[in-house]
Structure 1
Amino acid sequence: YESASLFPQAEPGMIAPEEGTEWLLQLLREVQLEHFYLRIRDDLNVTRLSHFDFVKTVDLERIGIGRP
């Protein structure tokens, strides 16, 4: 597979994934939470799937993801 086909050049207002975090943006798109991509990547420092092991509920609430 070619990542360029999954993530075309970003248009104004679109989020462009940082090198190595394309998987995160794709995952968030699948669950319709892509608008949290930058907050998860930058505020919570999640750049690998294993980093979610260290994310607590309070961290998610701080960036705007709460329980339904």
Structure 2
Amino acid sequence: MWLNEASLSYRPAYQLRHTYASRMLMAGANPAWLAQQMGHKNWDMISAVYAKWIPGQDPNYINKLADKLGQISC
């Protein structure tokens, strides 16, 4: 099998859910929205499993929120 030739381990397609979730969170996706996209009833699973992928303190976070709300940032 070509995976063995390339020294890669097999990963089932289901693993793509984890890639999708972690990449979306790193990009700043709303965890509640992501939970809905993944079919969860709430975002408890997202916070328990993927919390480490939610970006840390962003010094421009307040300014970004203000911009999204159409307000003047400080």
Q: TM-score scaled by structure 2?
A: 0.27
TM-score (norm 1): 0.28
